[in-house]
């Protein structure tokens, strides 16, 4: 009897294997062709150097060595790191909390206005980023100073032009436009919560607040966690919309790591020189080495200590 079950399980296992292979083979080939083949050379660049006469040559770890000596020489690395962390910490915290609360509110309360809210909140994701940035610039740097001048008769600089408020305005902008997708996903998850669970809780007399913490949050925590993983993974790629505001010539004060990587890549390709690419590639690899363990650590920690659905 036991062997019979084992046999069947074994057979099932083989079937699973075949089925699994059928599902993943084509996408993996796609991955190999369109990712590995395309990017292999770009990643190898990290270990090469460029000379305009002779092209690329093997350089071993020299790029990484240069990188570490550059960290001490140039001030922007530290600033960019600080800004990247700031954008990540403040931006992610605020937008996660707000997106959760908004979704919860719409999910629970807005029965009639529900659709209106959903559509409006998703608006920034629909409209192209060029248009959103243009509007925000007009608002922050043109409308606000004019408004203050009319009301208080005081001449002030716009939010983006005053160096004291620039970074704040940029973080605000990123939060402001960054919600839509998150709300969509949270709402989707909340709407999937089984009504019997909610009904049962109701009999126990939950309130608006306690339902959120006891039922809703644990049940959508998977989505929260996924979005946080995405945010962590993007810490050093996020150029924080700086390109929309400053093109490739922002003042160093406002650099993020992602912005710096982006603008240097653009500059090197524009030059057709390629000489700077190896160092950039090395930097990218280094950042990946730092971030990947952090993501896995985060996954492990949330699995261990995060709210569970039980």
Partner 1 sequence: MKKRFIVFALVLTMLMPCVACLGSGNEIDETKTQLYVGVYDGGLGADSVYAMAKRFEEKYAEHSFEEGRTGVQVKVMLNTYNDGLENTIADLTEEVFIGTSANANYLARKGLLTDISDVYDKPLNYDFVTGKTDASAPDVKPKDKIRNDLKYYYRDDEGKYYGFPGATTFYGLVYDIDLFEEQNLYFAKDGGFVSSKTDARSAGPDGNLETEFDNGLPATYEQFFELCDKIVSLDMTPVMWGGTVQEYVSSLLTALAADNDGKTQTELNYNYDGLANTLVSSVNGDSVEIGASEQINSRNGYKLYKQEGRYRALEFLERLVSNPKYFNKSDATSNAFGNTDAQDAFLTSKHPEFNRKRTAMIVEGNWWEAEARGTFLELSAEYGDEDSMETRRFGMLPLPKATADKVGEQYTFLERCVGDGFINGNIAEYKKNLAKSFVQFMFTDESCAEYLKINSICMPIEFDIGDEYASLTPWGKNMYDLKQNAVTATMYSRSKIMQNYATDLWYSPNLWLSKVGGTTYTYPSFAMINNGVSAKTYFDGLSAYWTEDTWKSKFTDI
Partner 2 sequence: MKEKTKRKFSLSPLSLVIFVILILYVISLLVPLLWSLLTSVKGRLDYLNNPFGLPKKWLFSNYKTAAENFASNISTNKGVRTVQIWEMLLNSLLFSLGSAFIGTFVTCIMAYASARFNFFMSKIIYGIVIVTMILPIVGSLPSEIQLVKTLGLYDSMLGMWLMKAGFLGMHFLIFYGVFKVLPKDFSEAAYVDGASNLAVMLKIILPLVRNAFFTIMLIKFIDFWNDYYMTMSFMPNIKTLAFGLYEYSQSYKPAISSAPMKLAGCCILAVPILILFFCFHNKIMGNVSMGGIKE
Contacts to partner 1 from residues 235-294, by CB under 8 A = 245-247, 249-253, 267, 269-273, 275-276
Does residue 163 interact with partner 1 by CB under 8 A?
A: yes
Contacts to partner 1 from residues 28-67, by CB under 8 A = 49-53, 66
- The item of partner 2, partner 1, none sharing an interface with residue 234, based on CB under 5 to 8 Å by kind, is partner 2
- The item of partner 1, partner 2, none sharing an interface with residue 97, based on CB under 5 to 8 Å by kind, is none
Rounded to whole angstroms, the Cα distance separating 81 from 167 reads: 13
Residues in contact with partner 1, counted by CB under 8 A, come to a total of: 40
Rounded to whole angstroms, the Cα distance separating 238 from 259 reads: 7
- The item of partner 1, partner 2, none sharing an interface with residue 7, based on CB under 5 to 8 Å by kind, is none
CA distances from 51 to 54, 57, 227, 246, 278 (A): 5, 8, 42, 31, 11
Q: Are the C-beta atoms of 64 and 237 separated by less than 8 Å?
A: no
Query: What minimum distance in Å lies between the beta carbon of 131 and partner 1?
Result: 14
Residue 236 CB contacts under 8 Å (≥ 6 apart), including other chains: 84, 257, 258, 261, 287, 291
Neighbours of 154 (CB within 10 A): 8
Contacts to partner 2 from residues 204-243, by CB under 8 A = 207-209, 222-223, 225-227, 229-230, 233-234, 236-237
Identify which range of 15-23, 57-65, 75-83, 88-96 contacts partner 2 by CB under 8 A: 15-23
From 225, 190, 189, 206, select the one nearest 308 (Cα to Cα): 225
Does residue 94 interact with partner 2 by CB under 8 A?
A: no
Q: Are the C-beta atoms of 63 and 46 separated by less than 8 Å?
A: yes
Does residue 83 interact with partner 1 by CB under 8 A?
A: no
- The item of partner 1, partner 2, none sharing an interface with residue 15, based on CB under 5 to 8 Å by kind, is partner 2
58 strand-pairing partners: 48
Which of 7, 11, 12, 78 is close enough to bind partner 2 by CB under 8 A? 12
From 157, 154, 153, 131, select the one nearest 142 (Cα to Cα): 157
Query: What minimum distance in Å lies between the beta carbon of 53 and partner 2?
Result: 19
CA distances from 298 to 86, 257, 285, 303 (A): 18, 21, 20, 8
Does residue 150 interact with partner 1 by CB under 8 A?
A: no
Q: Which is nearer to partner 1, 75 or 226 (CB)?
A: 75
**Residue 205: left if φ>0, alpha if ψ -120 to 50, beta else—which one?**
left
Which of 91, 92, 106, 158 is close enough to bind partner 1 by CB under 8 A? 158
Going by the DSSP 8-state scheme, the letter that residue 112 receives in this structure is S
Which of 192, 200, 252, 275 is close enough to bind partner 2 by CB under 8 A? 192
Binding mask 26-45 for partner 2 (x = CB under 8 A): -xx-xx-xxx-xxx-xxx-x
Q: Which residues bind partner 1 (CB under 8 A)?
A: 49-53, 66, 70, 73-76, 137-138, 140-142, 145, 155, 157-158, 160-163, 245-247, 249-253, 267, 269-273, 275-276
């Amino acid at each position: 009897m036991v062997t019979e079950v084992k046999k069947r399980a074994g057979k099932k296992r083989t079937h699973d294997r075949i089925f699994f292979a059928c599902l993943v083979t084509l996408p993996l080939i796609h991955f190999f062709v369109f990712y590995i083949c395309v990017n292999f050379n770009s990643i190898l660049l990290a270990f090469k150097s460029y000379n305009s006469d002779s092209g690329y040559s093997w350089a071993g770890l020299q790029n990484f060595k240069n990188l570490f000596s550059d960290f001490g020489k140039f001030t922007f690395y530290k600033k960019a790191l600080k800004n990247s962390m700031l954008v990540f910490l403040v931006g992610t915290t605020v937008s996660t909390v707000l997106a959760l609360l908004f979704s919860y509110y719409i999910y629970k309360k807005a029965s009639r206005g529900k659709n209106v809210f959903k559509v409006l909140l998703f608006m920034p994701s629909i409209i192209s980023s060029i248009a959103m940035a243009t509007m925000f610039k007009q608002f922050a740097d043109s409308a606000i100073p004019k408004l203050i001048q009319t009301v208080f008769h005081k001449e002030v600089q716009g939010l983006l032009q005053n160096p004291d408020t620039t970074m704040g305005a940029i973080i605000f902008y990123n939060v402001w436009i960054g919600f839509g997708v998150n709300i969509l996903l949270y709402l989707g998850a909340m709407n999937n919560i089984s009504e019997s669970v909610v009904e049962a809780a109701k009999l126990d007399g939950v309130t608006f607040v306690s339902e959120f913490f006891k039922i809703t949050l644990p049940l959508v925590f998977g989505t929260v966690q996924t979005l946080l993983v995405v945010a962590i993974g993007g810490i050093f790629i996020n150029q924080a919309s700086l390109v929309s505001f400053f093109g490739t010539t922002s003042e160093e004060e406002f650099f993020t790591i992602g912005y710096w990587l982006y603008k240097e890549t653009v500059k090197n390709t524009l030059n057709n020189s390629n000489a700077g690419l190896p160092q950039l590639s090395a930097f990218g690899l280094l950042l990946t080495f730092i971030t990947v363990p952090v993501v896995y650590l985060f996954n492990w920690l949330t699995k261990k200590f995060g709210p569970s659905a039980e």
